[in-house]
Chains A and B, each alone.
Chain A
Amino acid sequence: MSIKMLPTRDGYGNGLVELGATNPDVIVLDADLAKSTRSDWFANKYPDRFFDIGIAEQDMVGTAAGLALGGKIPFATTYAVFVAGRAWDQIRTTVCYSDLNVKIAGAHGGISAGGDGATHQSLEDIALMRVLPNMHVIVPCDAIEAKKATIAVAGIHGPCYLRFAREATPVFTAEEDFFAIGKANVLQNGSDVAVIACGPVVYEALLAHDQLKEMGISARIINMHTVKPLDEEVVLAAAQETGAIVTIEEAQVYGGLGGAVAELLVKNKPVPVEMMGVMDTFLECGTPEELAVKYGFTAKDIVAAVKRVLARK
């Protein structure tokens, strides 16, 4: 059976276009990557509400802060590695400390910028954004969810970070599926172990679920699209009811989703946890598929992690 493939950045572009039609306060900024990030889909339809700031990410975030102060809902858009890294102080001190209504979109997150190599592979953005007070961090799993997340962040007050991927990945959620910021989606129920994932790798977790089922292992699959605020209720229920957790994210293993889950569990319900991600290293160039195999982001790797965590139960 073939599955439809789209990059989550397309969902961002579609979400922006819909917002353009429904919310006149939505303004989109980009830093010379509008075609790549899909913000040009908005720019083509609403040129008066699109501003290219040039290759100046710090200025873009500051400009977005000013637009928010003027009552607008700005979406500051560029590659994840540049906005979350280079403009971190602007996001921290101007946007988050002042609790401004700025939306930040980081494209080409995770290993999806494969061929560009380590400079362009954003693996630290989730941790960098998660540590900031007032910030929301959302990592959509497919293009449909990405569109919903884009529209949803315009409807809440405060700083939000959205992370998108470059490569086409499976579209496995449906338009009618429930989506709410801060509410995890349990995609498969299971009682032996819970796999908590964010981003396109959620699909690998679903494939792992089927392989585990054949082995007689019942895995709960949780799509934790909102890394912050974490849906603590769903995580604690998973720990209570399965007794073993695997986390996976296309990011450095420290400080991201796995860290958030571990911090919660160690205080409330200590159970064995296997954290999957990039193991404290920079990657290299390669296709996203090659990198996924080499660095452990496939269903097979998740199955292996589940076996490890079950052995520790």
Chain B
Amino acid sequence: MNSPSLEKLTEICRDVRADIVKMTAAAGSGHPGGSLSAVELMTVLYFKVMNHRPNQVDWPERDRFFLSKGHACPVVYSVMARAGYFPVEELITLRKCGTRLQGHPSCKALPGIEVSSGSLGQGLSIANGVALAAKLNKKDFRAYVLMGDGELQEGQIWEAMMTSAHYKLDNVCAIVDYNGLQIDGDVEAVMGIAPLAQKWRAFNWHTIEIDGHDLAQVLAAFEEAKATKGKPSVIIAKTIKGKGISFMENVAGWHGKAPNSEELQKALDELYGREN
């Protein structure tokens, strides 16, 4: 795949945001908030960082991506479509009966999804397992896993954090979409996870803190993680839930609610300007 410039990535991010609101609006349900917060993270990962072949999903040498916060599949579907895994036109089938784009991702339905997810807290363990297999087989591929901040309340994550460090899985890169909101409200009010970076460090992880909407910072963080040997890396990406759509930004209510047609038009106007 050609490596796009940051300017080009900015354009892709805008199209991905439009996809997310269009898909969820057409479905009448879905999770726009935590998809919009991860747009830069996923776009940089799929267009700049991962070694993968959209036309050969079972390529054994590919880097693996696991969406632990499965509800954020709209952003992953959009990035996959725009990277060439399937036609962009198919995005509008999200959540429709018979679609390959299940409401939470199914690896049986859609080639290119590594594993089905949707029950929170499980992705890091899976990434550890595939990373162990890579080490055993002397393969160089890496395992990436995107987690939500609210998701970190699941105990299995902390079990898996120990495992990654214990087995020195430097081919694991965790990404925390730290948007600060979950369904019931502020993460810190529902069940606090701060101080987050200190916790990861205490679990023997190489910890990188960035602005998750700054493409250059995101790219640099992935490069730093890749260069870190002997321990796993986590990118704690400070983000804004609903980022890019003014009325969705920092509103927990947009976690799992689709825009209506008026809201969709308003969102697209914001992304592309009135003339669109």
Contacts of A54 in B (CB 8 A): 159, 162-163, 166
Q: Does the CB pair B163–A65 fall under 8 Å?
A: no
Q: Does the CB pair A63–B132 fall under 8 Å?
A: yes
Q: Does the CB pair B126–A56 fall under 8 Å?
A: no
Q: Could you tell me the distance between the alpha carbons of A231 and B131 in the complex, rounded to whole angstroms?
A: 38
Contacts of B114 in A (CB 8 A): 69
Q: Does the CB pair B119–A71 fall under 8 Å?
A: no
8 Å CB contact of A58 from B125, B133, B134: B125
Contacts of B132 in A (CB 8 A): 27, 51, 63, 66-67, 70
Contacts of B130 in A (CB 8 A): 66-67, 69-70
Q: Does the CB pair A59–B125 fall under 8 Å?
A: yes
Contacts of A89 in B (CB 8 A): 119
Contacts of A58 in B (CB 8 A): 121-122, 125, 155-156, 159
Interface centre among B108, B125, B155, B162 (most CB of A within 10 A): B125
Q: Does the CB pair A59–B159 fall under 8 Å?
A: yes
Contacts of A193 in B (CB 8 A): none
Contacts of B88 in A (CB 8 A): none
| A70/B160 contact (C-beta < 8 A), A63-B125, A97-B116 known | no
Contacts of B159 in A (CB 8 A): 53-54, 56, 58-59
A267 to chain B, nearest CB (A): 28
Q: Does the CB pair B133–A66 fall under 8 Å?
A: yes
Q: Does the CB pair A65–B115 fall under 8 Å?
A: yes
8 Å CB contact of B133 from A48, A60, A72: A72
Q: Does the CB pair A98–B107 fall under 8 Å?
A: yes
Q: Does the CB pair A62–B136 fall under 8 Å?
A: no
B95 to chain A, nearest CB (A): 17
A215 to chain B, nearest CB (A): 53
8 Å CB contact of A69 from B108, B121, B126, B162: B126
Q: Does the CB pair B133–A94 fall under 8 Å?
A: no
A89 to chain B, nearest CB (A): 5
Q: Does the CB pair A70–B125 fall under 8 Å?
A: no
Tell me, yes or no, whether B128 is within 8 Å of chain A by CB. yes
Chain A residue at smallest Cβ distance from B60: A71
8 Å CB contact of B122 from A48, A53, A93: A93
Chain A residue at smallest Cβ distance from B145: A66
Contact with B along A83-107 (1 / 0, CB 8 A): 0000001101110011110000000
Contacts of B64 in A (CB 8 A): 69
Chain B residue at smallest Cβ distance from A49: B136
Contacts of A66 in B (CB 8 A): 125-133, 143
Tell me, yes or no, whether A64 is within 8 Å of chain B by CB. yes
| A62/B128 contact (C-beta < 8 A), A69-B133, A94-B122 known | yes
Chain A residue at smallest Cβ distance from B107: A98
Contacts of A27 in B (CB 8 A): 132-133, 136
Interface centre among B108, B163, B167 (most CB of A within 10 A): B163
| A51/B115 contact (C-beta < 8 A), A59-B159, A63-B126, A67-B129 known | no
Q: Give 29 A-B contacts (CB < 8 Å), ordered by A residue.
A: A27-B133, A27-B136, A51-B132, A53-B159, A54-B159, A58-B156, A59-B125, A59-B159, A59-B160, A62-B126, A62-B156, A66-B127, A66-B129, A66-B143, A67-B129, A67-B130, A69-B64, A70-B132, A71-B137, A74-B129, A90-B122, A90-B125, A90-B156, A93-B116, A94-B116, A94-B117, A94-B126, A97-B108, A100-B115
B: residues with CB less than 8 A from A are 60, 64, 106-108, 114-119, 121-122, 124-134, 136-137, 143, 155-156, 159-160, 162-163, 166-167
